[in-house]
Structures are given as structure tokens and as C-alpha cells.
Amino acid sequence: MIHSVRLNESTLSPSEQHGLDLLIDLSRAVPVVRSSPNIVHLEVTGGRKRALTVGECVARGWFIEPADGVVRIDRNALDVVCDIAGASKEQASTKRDRYGRIPSMQSPLAATGKERQAVVSRAAMRLRYAVIQAAGNRLVRFVAPWPNGRRWAAAMTHDLDVVSYWPVFSALRIAELARKRELARVGRVLAAAGRAIGTSPVRDGIQFILRKEDEHGVRSTWFVLCGTPSFSTWRQGDLTYLPEGAQARQILGDIGLHNGEVGLHGSFETLDRGDAFTEQRERLAKLAAGSIAGVRQHFLRLNPATTPTSMAAAGFAYDSSQGFADRNGFRLGVADVVPTWSASDQRATGFDEIPFCWMDRSLSKYGGVEDPAMWVQDAQVLAEECRRVEGLWVGVWHPNLVPALGYPDAPEAFSTLLSSLSEGDPFFGTLADILAWRSARRSVRVRSVGSDEIVEAELPVATRHEVVLEDANGVACATKWLPQ
Ligand SMILES: [Zn+2]
């Protein structure tokens, strides 16, 4: 439990405050409404403004120092937290790739080779340990990280890029494999495609995924394109199916039967015209028979300076486009849900980002690795990092990765991935579930401590899961929850 105070009454800048709020939330330390000598105090130090690098912050433990009853943190490190997790460095970039995206190397983590570690989640972990160290005999409480006693979380997500005209995609993929001289694989794809003539390999693949997920008790999140395809959208690799078509409707029905969450896969148009988000979200809600909470951009076409604001205006609750197209890792330095930040307005937008850290084809498209077993090994390495920080692993698996469309061995690799995630015993949820939990967890405040050391806490944001406060050893503590 911490009470946050500032040294010399210095006022934090909005970005420093945002960095501090992020670290406290990710650390799971519970803010206390009123100060008391029996709790740890958090002091922000450093009157002098100076620009720190990520490297300095990592090497110096993010300038977080425990003392007796107090943890001190340098305000300059808080700006670095906002630069990374609030994407404010990337918002300042004017560079764009051929799809209008901010290139990976504009991320301060990719630029310094640190994207494989959830550096900001680790900074928050350091804050947690510093609070424990500073506490001595003082009372310490943290919110348990995930529901049902789970110590980390995992979410499987799927982008529905292909529904109609599957042989076109087989042909494109065969050309790609031929260019890469993967001739044995070309032979296997041709054979699988031949066998699939007259069947529905895309829908079969989706049903396979849903069945496997059911076996592990996993409910997944599906991002569906919702615009009208044209010759031009086909040519660009944008929209290739009509969401109202019979095949897409069947797939939406399959997802509904398995209690999957449906989100919008924002088409190319949405990056340049924010109103398209509203139109596509309403159109998809009619088809999915329910309101649409989440969005992920097709090709990850997102401008962190403007797109989240348009998404929020269209009624979405979260985005999940923040990740790399060309490598796997933590673009925002967090294995968790974070509020998005507007650098131009210098304020939090009130809209959440659920970044993903792994995508099936990153290694194939950009690294030339065509063996799906290798992609899954990489997913496991990143899942280990998420576990280590008691965070969230979000992976993207494209349901069109089936043998007939060019991906022999992919369904088996997907099974292996699910089994290995399951063995780690995470909390599995759809992204909307995970957002709901994190919003509640983030809202916990302690009002007071009784003489019997029973903490009186409030939970302004309700959740269907039980919220537990625990001590420094992760043992659940008696808590009196005040009515809201
Ligand atoms: Zn896509």
C-alpha cells in the first residue's frame, strides 16, 4: 500500500504524472486515499529536468530507490515511461512505411534492441519490490494480478483476413514460397489445395481452432473486416470479403456458438477517415448481434497520435493494434493493458490499449522462417516474459493458416501453442474480459486501516470476478469492501 507524495511540493508535468500512474497501476500497489505513518510513501525526486535514455533507466533500476518507509523515484524516469508505454516518442515521428505505418525502428525499444523484454512492466515490478523493501513492519497490500488466483493471463486473438475465394490466396502463397525456394512446401500446398477443391478449407480451419480452444477452456477474440470490397481494395490486400455474405455469416455464427468475442478489423480507410470506424462498428454490431467493444487495424495501420481518439469517438472501449508487424516483442514495453496517451493534448485519452506481443507470421514474412514450430517457440519465449512480470500475453493467430492456403504444419503448431500456454495455467480471457478485469483492478483504493489491520477498500469499477488484496508474499488478506 502506498501513499503518493511529492518532494518539495514540486508539481509533476502531465506526462510525468501519466508515467507515475502507469507504474503504480502495473506494480499492483494499492494507492491509499489518506496518508498514515503505517504505510509506505512514494516520493518523486529530481528538480532538474534532464532527458534520460531507456538504457540508463534499465541500467539504473529506473531510478527507483527504497529507503525506510519511503520509495523515491526520479521524475525524469517517469517521462521515459510515458515515451515508451504512452507511445509519445512514436507520436512525434513523421516517418511512414509503404502502408502508412510508423516503422518499428521509431519505437525507442526496437531502436535499442530492448523490445524482447517488457521493460516497463519490469520497472513496475521493481517498484513493487522497492515498496516491500521499504515497508519493514509497515502494512503492505497489493491487488492480486488476475482473477481466480491466476498469476498471469493469456489471450488468443484472430484476424479474419480471408473468407472468400480461397484459391486466390493459395496461389499468392505458392508464389511467395517459390520465391523463397521452399519447393517441398510448395508441393505439399498444391496437394492440400487439390484435396480441398469443392470444400471450405477456411471455415474448416476456423472450426478446428474453435474446437481446440474449447478443449482448453479458451474463449478467443476475433477481429472481422466490415467494409465493402472492390477491385481496388482487393489489389491492395485490404477488404476481400463481404461481411454480409453467406460464408462470413456462417463464420460469425461459429464464433458465437463458441462464445468468442467479435471485434472490428479496421479496414485501410479507417486510418484516414475516422468516421469510417463508426460506420463499420455499427454494421458489424448488426451482424454479430451485440455491441462491439474492440478494434484491431488490418495491417496494423495505426497512428498513435490520432487513431485512438477516432476509435474512442466511434464507441470502442479498446484497441489491440500496438505491436510490431515485422518482429515479435513488446512495442509499448508492457505485457498488460495500458491507457493511451495523447502527446498533442498532454493528457490520457480515457481509451485503453491491449498490445499484442506475438503474431504468427512475423517470422515468416520478415525473417524467412517458414516452419510454424519455430514461430510457436518464439511465442513461448515471450509468454515466459509475460509470466515473469505477472502480465498478459496476447498473440495473433490468422485462421487462414491452413495447408490448402499455403501453410502445412500450421494447425499442429497452433495445437502445440495452446497446450503449452495452458500448461502455464494463465487466466484465459477474451480481450473484453481482460479489459473489464483491469479496469476494476486499476480502480481499487484503500480508505483506511482498522486497528485490527483490516484494510477498508473501495472498488468503484465493478467486476464479476472476486478482487483480492494480498500481502508481500502473495497471501490473500482480509479486506472490508466499502459499498459504492
Ligand atoms: Zn488483417
In angstroms, what is the span from residue 129 Cα to ligand 1's centroid? 40
Q: Answer whether residue 82 is part of any domain.
A: yes
CATH code: domain of residue 402 = 3.20.20.370
pLDDT in the model for residue 449 = 82
The verdict on 90 and 155 lying in the same domain is no
Chain CA centroid to CA 201, Å:
29
The verdict on 253 and 332 lying in the same domain is yes
The verdict on 165 and 245 lying in the same domain is yes
In angstroms, what is the span from residue 393 Cα to ligand 1's centroid? 19
The verdict on 153 and 195 lying in the same domain is yes
Q: How many domains does the chain divide into?
A: 2
In angstroms, what is the span from residue 369 Cα to ligand 1's centroid? 20
In angstroms, what is the span from residue 18 Cα to ligand 1's centroid? 31
The verdict on 451 and 386 lying in the same domain is no
Q: Answer whether residue 57 is part of any domain.
A: yes
In angstroms, what is the span from residue 300 Cα to ligand 1's centroid? 7
Would you give the end-to-end CA distance of the chain in angstroms?
21
Quickly count helices (H) and strands (E) in the chain: 18, 19
In angstroms, what is the span from residue 271 Cα to ligand 1's centroid? 14
Q: Answer whether residue 428 is part of any domain.
A: yes
The verdict on 417 and 324 lying in the same domain is yes
The verdict on 354 and 214 lying in the same domain is yes
In angstroms, what is the span from residue 101 Cα to ligand 1's centroid? 14
pLDDT in the model for residue 247 = 96
In angstroms, what is the span from residue 120 Cα to ligand 1's centroid? 28
Q: Answer whether residue 108 is part of any domain.
A: yes
Range of the domain at 181: 149-434
**What 8-state DSSP symbol labels residue 154?**
E
In angstroms, what is the span from residue 24 Cα to ligand 1's centroid? 34
pLDDT in the model for residue 365 = 84
pLDDT in the model for residue 6 = 58
**What 8-state DSSP symbol labels residue 98?**
T
* CA torsion angle 399 400 402 403 (round to 10): -170
In angstroms, what is the span from residue 197 Cα to ligand 1's centroid? 25
**Residue-level length of the chain:** 484
Q: Answer whether residue 187 is part of any domain.
A: yes
The verdict on 237 and 259 lying in the same domain is yes
> Residue written as cell 492456403?
405
Helices marked H in 61-182: 75-85, 88-91, 108-111, 119-135, 166-179
The verdict on 351 and 396 lying in the same domain is yes
In angstroms, what is the span from residue 180 Cα to ligand 1's centroid? 22
Lookup: cell for 267: 479496414
- Burial tier of 463 (Cβ tally within 10 Å: 0-12, 13-18, 19+): middle
In angstroms, what is the span from residue 269 Cα to ligand 1's centroid? 13
The Cα angle at residue 311 between residues 310 and 312, in degrees rounded to 5: 90
- Amino acid found at 58: V
In angstroms, what is the span from residue 159 Cα to ligand 1's centroid? 5
**What 8-state DSSP symbol labels residue 424?**
T
The verdict on 136 and 208 lying in the same domain is no
Q: Answer whether residue 340 is part of any domain.
A: yes
pLDDT in the model for residue 148 = 97
In angstroms, what is the span from residue 299 Cα to ligand 1's centroid? 5
In angstroms, what is the span from residue 424 Cα to ligand 1's centroid? 28
Q: Answer whether residue 408 is part of any domain.
A: yes
In angstroms, what is the span from residue 427 Cα to ligand 1's centroid? 26
d(CA 240, CA 159) in angstroms, rounded, equals 13
In angstroms, what is the span from residue 333 Cα to ligand 1's centroid? 23
pLDDT in the model for residue 433 = 98
Q: Answer whether residue 440 is part of any domain.
A: no
pLDDT in the model for residue 36 = 82
The verdict on 119 and 205 lying in the same domain is no
| 421 phi and psi angles, rounded to 5 deg | -65, -45
The verdict on 132 and 223 lying in the same domain is no
pLDDT 10s per residue in the chain (484 long)?
Answer: 777 765 554 688 999 999 999 999 999 999 998 888 888 999 998 877 889 999 999 999 999 999 999 999 999 999 999 999 999 999 999 999 999 999 999 999 999 999 999 999 999 999 999 999 999 989 899 999 999 999 999 999 999 999 999 999 999 999 999 999 999 999 999 999 999 999 999 999 999 999 999 999 999 999 999 999 999 999 999 999 999 999 999 999 999 999 999 999 999 999 999 999 999 999 999 999 889 999 999 999 999 999 999 999 999 999 999 999 999 999 999 999 999 999 999 999 999 999 999 999 898 888 889 999 999 999 999 999 999 999 999 999 999 999 999 999 999 999 999 999 999 999 999 999 999 999 999 999 999 887 778 899 999 999 999 999 999 999 999 999 998 8
